[in-house]
Amino acid sequence: MMILQIPTETTASRPVCNSEAIYKYGKTRTGKQRFQCLMCGRQFSHGEEKQEIQSKPICPECGNIMHLYKIEGSVIIFRCSGYLECKTFRKFRIKED
């Protein structure tokens, strides 16, 4: 296993632990190089920032914010942030342009 030295311009995409122990971990769907941190196990790519959802739905049962649970094809599934007490899920279809 070869540990890589990542150039300084990629520090924004490094894992939260700021470890220098990073190695190549395959490629993304678009062909960009993927890396993995040996300390925390986090995977990342150059110039890839985590995409945050702009507006999260509100749980109709308890009023808490709902978190992204998973994406299945053209459906996004949200789960209540108070999951153990409130087991509400909501599904949304992804709009295609």
pLDDT digits (tens, 9 = 90+) for 46-74: 765 655 656 788 999 999 999 888 888 88
Which pLDDT value is given to residue 51? 59
Which pLDDT value is given to residue 59? 92
Mean pLDDT of the chain: 78
Sheet of 66-72: strand order equals 66-72, 75-80, 89-93
Residue 81 in this model has a pLDDT that exceeds 70:
yes
Higher pLDDT, 8 or 61: 61
DSSP secondary structure letter of residue 95: P
Which pLDDT value is given to residue 31? 83
Please compute, for residue 65, the number of CA atoms within 13 A of its CA located in the half-sphere on the CB side: 6
